[in-house]
Chain A
């Protein structure tokens, strides 16, 4: 931990930022902490007073001074009342501060996820993004809970030292030794701890990684009888983690009692030093104060111990918050005209961050209402092209136009209002069937059912217990892959898009149903859609490709050929090979066997 000073400086900056973001609530929590701390001092004084004015005289004189007793009791009540107010301020306000900061950072992170383009998402694994929003934010604001108390305690410590100086220099000297000793020990503790905790955290990630992988490959594990071997692999890492955690525990087990013992030894030394120098009441008061302060002093330690984790959390959170690459928008509200869109690509190049280009020099025009199939081998860039067509990201160079207008000139939402992409990977929200189709847009039930019919999804939706209101997703109905794809298709159809892009969108649907969907979609103008939208189909099956007016053959990120299916088959052997290879896979109905 040579970077310790940097951690402390950066940690302080994080705490300062927290104060700036929640100044009012921080003020309340600080006031509460100070009030509570001052009352700790006051409590010691009250008990010292009681000893001097009530207890000792009562024993010496054989009878109690009732008025002094009453004052002592009143003081105890008063101190308790202020302490209660202090606790409320400190704990409630500090808690609210921590929760609010966590919540607000989670909202900010999620907004970045929503705004950043798909090219950014493609670079970041899902698991990492989720943990940015979850555990990293939590780590970032963890020190906030003890923070106000720690600041309060620090102030109180100074006040106490001042009081000790006023009382007796010898005792003050003792305080000047004991208080810093607690803090320094705490700092050493935090430093040793952060290394071990970081290692334990890394090991936790390892263990979790093995569990993820092993469960994901459960079928292979089971059918090859590898359960015991896998358990051994998991156990080996779990035991390393166990040993690391025992190490963390031993450290905690050493420092915890040590930190408790220092003020206790301090109290005893107060007796030793003070006995010959001050009266009994003062002695009791100072000894009691040392005992009372032992606990709050540790708040400083807790906060310091959490700072390294907080700094690491902040690093990871900032990577999201400061990520660049947002798509610029213009102010054109919608593509010109009505009806099917003209689509134009000029010299479009695209690559995912420095890696080899995925698409090079794509130039193609698609006239309104045409149905174009994109065919190509795996990795040819078909899905990337689909993402570019609806502006999930921008090309590195070149221009894509709807009706002659550069996509970058459109206002936010304008592209989505005209074009719909049904992606290869279906995604359904944790929502009702209706919510999944409308996504909150004002479509009535009639329109939703129309769209479901077009996607051949009306049958199974009608059979669901709650129909359109049936919940989909983790806590709702489990749908098959084909059903999920048909719902996503309905989501596109209900919008009556002027440009429809189907990226292998019916791969898990029975071939017969698929043909019915596509035939209805592409050729039965007037039934599902009033006019045929400009349609781009990414397809494999020959029967599907045959439905298109023409075919764009994509190979190695370039348009290798373009023409009707028959023409390409005739003149382009690579194309013919691809199409006939796909052909042999008659049924693609996504049998869920073993998978």
Chain B
């Protein structure tokens, strides 16, 4: 259960495109860097497309006057035309380069901003199953936008400019004929808008189906052992086939619909050609139009068709890109659960801090209350064990203590400062958590330890292992501190990962340590090492251990028993055993298991 969920994309009506774009520019101003110059270049670049019709017109009207070819004139016209084309190629190149620099710069910024924001979302560490979708927001979603910009985005920009320029030249030659040609395209605009809406729905369905299909295929990989053990291959294959077929059907439908746009464009072009020839002849007869101008018009009509088709393709890709864009923005719009007071806050005073819970209550959003007014004071330097049944509230207690979330009411204070007032920089420097599964990064032992203290040299890492009595273990590693630990640290055993995690916590030199004891089975030798390291690590520090082992509770200065959301017992192990109650029951169950 998490405090925050990232809303599914399809849920509410998506925000309008314009506001999506405005948000994007707000986050990454790189998107519009030098936009003015780029637009000017785009106009020049698209000018290249009308060079040919204009030169054709000039050649027909001036170079071929009355059937005689004026070769000098034609040569000059062609030369000017070629120069114009070369110039527009250059303008095009510079425009593209600027556009790519701006968009890729903006996308990189968007990616990094989203990445940073995700780390502030509690959903990340509380709901492992949503992690994949968060990863895709900063990877494949941004990639989709980038690919669109590379393929379709440019086409969209130049198409629009080309349409405008072609229209302008048409009007220059003959406004009645231009109006006629535009009128031929008018139905296309009307039909096109409606089609675009249906297309957008169709492509939306394709995205949903593809997602379902990939999910179904993933089951055949992730669930391979289960499927084989229960001979469920046939059933799984049927499910996959159905999902694949549904995807193909949705894709076919979207493709068929998209062809409609091309047909409309083609029919409009034929109408425009007919109108230009019919109307053009009428105008030419009355001396209002030359042959060259009429032919140039026919060329210009062709310039109208291509961008309509190219823009249709681009708009289809744009649907995907916009949907991806919205998903990235959704992440950014998800508020962070805990706010950093920043430099305005109060740092925790030096030395091992005290801990104080004042009437702390907590309820998960939409769920029942799980902590019912915890009051607790822990003196500096105490080694405290927190025990209790699963579901009793230990987990929530630890999350509040480490400020992974804030209480619904009441306050948690460390060193006398309410946690909500402590700047993250101070909090993370002073308080270190050692999680159950000592997650390690896919690098060397030394690099992992350096996550606790940046810049620590190799000798320092070796010393740290020695300090915790782990020198003998380090010596068994093939390349010492430079031994790679593998993905998630999986080249090491679960217990060994814990050892590295403990050293990592040690070099961070926190004054308050929160440990979540591992529950996984560890072999005896490693078990002893962990115990030894823990003992040295907690020395001279305030330490809170979420204990799963009797031995840990026995060794602690004090034990707190949390049951049904309340502190029900507190004291030394021996006293609590004598007292009975919940602790007495836990103790009995532990000893029963120990004796078998």
- Expressed in whole angstroms, the Cα–Cα distance for A413 and B306 within the complex equals 58
Q: Using Cβ atoms and an 8 Å threshold, which residues of chain B touch A510? A: 389-390
- Expressed in whole angstroms, the Cα–Cα distance for A72 and B92 within the complex equals 37
Q: Using Cβ atoms and an 8 Å threshold, which residues of chain A touch B218? A: 130
Q: Which of B89, B149, B262, B452 sits near A87, CB closer than 8 Å?
A: B262
Residue B478 CB within 8 A of the other chain: no
Interface residues of B in 38-88 (CB under 8 A from A): 45, 48-49, 51-52, 55-56, 59-60, 63-64, 67, 69, 71, 74-75, 77-78, 81-82, 85-86, 88
- Expressed in whole angstroms, the Cα–Cα distance for A268 and B219 within the complex equals 59
> Are B150 and A248 interface neighbours, CB within 8 A?
yes
Q: Using Cβ atoms and an 8 Å threshold, which residues of chain B touch A580? A: 524, 594
> Are A261 and B229 interface neighbours, CB within 8 A?
no
If A216-B131, A224-B452 are given as contacts, then 19 extra A-B residue pairs at C-beta distance below 8 Å, sorted by A number, are A69-B277, A96-B255, A99-B252, A114-B228, A217-B439, A217-B441, A242-B107, A249-B150, A250-B100, A257-B48, A271-B56, A271-B63, A420-B229, A421-B229, A425-B225, A429-B219, A541-B593, A584-B550, A589-B390
B: contact size bracket: 35 or more
Residue A590 CB within 8 A of the other chain: yes
> Are A257 and B125 interface neighbours, CB within 8 A?
no
Using known A-B contacts A245-B104, A268-B55, A543-B596, determine if residue A585 contacts B221 with beta carbons closer than 8 Å: no
- Expressed in whole angstroms, the Cα–Cα distance for A429 and B240 within the complex equals 12
Considering the complex, give the chain B residue whose CB is closest to the CB of A126.
Answer: B221
Residue B18 CB within 8 A of the other chain: no
Interface residues of A in 537-583 (CB under 8 A from B): 540-543, 545-546, 565, 577-578, 580-583
A354 to chain B, nearest CB (A): 18
Chain A to chain B: the 5 pairs with minimum beta-carbon distance, closest first: A253-B96, A225-B428, A249-B100, A80-B270, A416-B231
Q: Interface residues of A: mostly helix, strand, loop or mixed? A: helix
A353 to chain B, nearest CB (A): 17
Of the A-B pairs whose beta carbons lie under 8 Å apart in the complex, a sample of 10, sorted by A's number, is A59-B290, A239-B108, A241-B108, A242-B107, A253-B99, A254-B96, A257-B88, A271-B56, A271-B78, A583-B594
B268 to chain A, nearest CB (A): 9
Q: Which of B220, B263, B269, B290 sits near A113, CB closer than 8 Å?
A: B220
> Are B223 and A427 interface neighbours, CB within 8 A?
yes
Residue A195 CB within 8 A of the other chain: no
- Expressed in whole angstroms, the Cα–Cα distance for A83 and B394 within the complex equals 72
Most B CB contacts (10 A, CB to CB) among A59, A292, A542 go to: A59
Residue A265 CB within 8 A of the other chain: yes
> Are B52 and A76 interface neighbours, CB within 8 A?
no
Interface residues of A in 206-245 (CB under 8 A from B): 207-208, 211-231, 234-235, 238-239, 241-242, 245
The stretch of A11-19, A48-56, A521-529 in contact with B is A48-56
Using known A-B contacts A204-B143, A591-B548, determine if residue A215 contacts B134 with beta carbons closer than 8 Å: yes
> Are B120 and A227 interface neighbours, CB within 8 A?
yes
Q: Using Cβ atoms and an 8 Å threshold, which residues of chain A touch B175? A: none
Residue A174 CB within 8 A of the other chain: no
Q: Using Cβ atoms and an 8 Å threshold, which residues of chain A touch B219? A: 429-430
Q: Please encode chain A, from 254 to 267, with 1 for each CB lying within 8 Å of some chain B CB and 0 for all others.
A: 10111011001101
Q: Which of A77, A80, A280 sits near B60, CB closer than 8 Å?
A: A280
> Are A543 and B593 interface neighbours, CB within 8 A?
yes
A134 to chain B, nearest CB (A): 6
Residue B105 CB within 8 A of the other chain: yes
A432 to chain B, nearest CB (A): 13
> Are B589 and A390 interface neighbours, CB within 8 A?
no
> Are B298 and A47 interface neighbours, CB within 8 A?
yes
- Expressed in whole angstroms, the Cα–Cα distance for A219 and B488 within the complex equals 13
Using known A-B contacts A51-B295, A392-B229, A420-B230, determine if residue A587 contacts B96 with beta carbons closer than 8 Å: no
Q: Which of B115, B291, B548 sits near A59, CB closer than 8 Å?
A: B291
> Are A110 and B240 interface neighbours, CB within 8 A?
yes
Q: Using Cβ atoms and an 8 Å threshold, which residues of chain B touch A520? A: none
Q: Using Cβ atoms and an 8 Å threshold, which residues of chain B touch A207? A: 111, 139
> Are B285 and A62 interface neighbours, CB within 8 A?
yes
The stretch of B352-360, B373-381, B514-522 in contact with A is B514-522
Residue A107 CB within 8 A of the other chain: yes
Residue B408 CB within 8 A of the other chain: no
A: contact size bracket: 35 or more
Residue B222 CB within 8 A of the other chain: yes
Q: Please encode chain B, from 401 to 420, with 1 for each CB lying within 8 Å of some chain A CB and 0 for all others.
A: 01010000000000000000
Residue B165 CB within 8 A of the other chain: no
Interface residues of B in 393-437 (CB under 8 A from A): 394-395, 398-399, 402, 404, 424-425, 427-429, 431-433, 435-437
- Expressed in whole angstroms, the Cα–Cα distance for A510 and B232 within the complex equals 30
> Are A220 and B266 interface neighbours, CB within 8 A?
no
Considering the complex, give the chain A residue whose CB is closest to the CB of B233.
Answer: A114
Interface residues of B in 517-572 (CB under 8 A from A): 519, 521-524, 527, 546, 548-551
Q: Using Cβ atoms and an 8 Å threshold, which residues of chain A touch B51? A: 264
The stretch of B196-204, B241-249, B462-470 in contact with A is B241-249
Using known A-B contacts A254-B93, A541-B593, A591-B394, determine if residue A99 contacts B248 with beta carbons closer than 8 Å: yes
The stretch of A1-9, A180-188, A283-291, A397-405 in contact with B is A283-291
- Expressed in whole angstroms, the Cα–Cα distance for A241 and B127 within the complex equals 29
> Are A223 and B214 interface neighbours, CB within 8 A?
no
> Are A272 and B75 interface neighbours, CB within 8 A?
yes
> Are A586 and B232 interface neighbours, CB within 8 A?
no
> Are B112 and A235 interface neighbours, CB within 8 A?
yes
Residue A311 CB within 8 A of the other chain: no
Q: Using Cβ atoms and an 8 Å threshold, which residues of chain B touch A591? A: 390, 394-395, 436, 516, 519, 546, 548
> Are B135 and A264 interface neighbours, CB within 8 A?
no
Q: Interface residues of B: mostly helix, strand, loop or mixed? A: helix
Q: Please encode chain B, from 247 to 264, with 1 for each CB lying within 8 Å of some chain A CB and 0 for all others.
A: 110011001101100110
Q: Using Cβ atoms and an 8 Å threshold, which residues of chain A touch B549? A: 584-587
- Expressed in whole angstroms, the Cα–Cα distance for A587 and B394 within the complex equals 13
Residue A352 CB within 8 A of the other chain: no
Q: Using Cβ atoms and an 8 Å threshold, which residues of chain A touch B270? A: 76-77, 79-80, 83
Q: Please encode chain A, from 395 to 437, with 1 for each CB lying within 8 Å of some chain B CB and 0 for all others.
A: 0000000000000000011011100110101010110000000
Q: Using Cβ atoms and an 8 Å threshold, which residues of chain B touch A495? A: 230
> Are A249 and B244 interface neighbours, CB within 8 A?
no
Q: Using Cβ atoms and an 8 Å threshold, which residues of chain B touch A87? A: 259, 262-263, 266
> Are B516 and A54 interface neighbours, CB within 8 A?
no
- Expressed in whole angstroms, the Cα–Cα distance for A589 and B395 within the complex equals 12
> Are A256 and B154 interface neighbours, CB within 8 A?
yes
Residue A155 CB within 8 A of the other chain: no
- Expressed in whole angstroms, the Cα–Cα distance for A30 and B114 within the complex equals 45
A494 to chain B, nearest CB (A): 10
Q: Using Cβ atoms and an 8 Å threshold, which residues of chain B touch A542? A: 593-596
> Are A216 and B488 interface neighbours, CB within 8 A?
yes
Considering the complex, give the chain A residue whose CB is closest to the CB of B284.
Answer: A59
Q: Which of A80, A99, A271 sits near B55, CB closer than 8 Å?
A: A271
Q: Using Cβ atoms and an 8 Å threshold, which residues of chain B touch A309? A: none
Q: Using Cβ atoms and an 8 Å threshold, which residues of chain A touch B256? A: 92, 95
Residue A511 CB within 8 A of the other chain: yes
Residue A439 CB within 8 A of the other chain: yes
> Are A287 and B56 interface neighbours, CB within 8 A?
yes
Q: Using Cβ atoms and an 8 Å threshold, which residues of chain A touch B332? A: none
Using known A-B contacts A284-B295, A392-B225, determine if residue A292 contacts B302 with beta carbons closer than 8 Å: yes
Using known A-B contacts A264-B51, A269-B78, determine if residue A126 contacts B222 with beta carbons closer than 8 Å: yes
Residue B477 CB within 8 A of the other chain: no
> Are A253 and B97 interface neighbours, CB within 8 A?
yes
Q: Please encode chain A, from 364 to 389, with 1 for each CB lying within 8 Å of some chain B CB and 0 for all others.
A: 00000000000001110000000100
Q: Which of A250, A258, A284 sits near B56, CB closer than 8 Å?
A: A284
> Are A106 and B244 interface neighbours, CB within 8 A?
yes
- Expressed in whole angstroms, the Cα–Cα distance for A213 and B441 within the complex equals 7
Residue A252 CB within 8 A of the other chain: yes
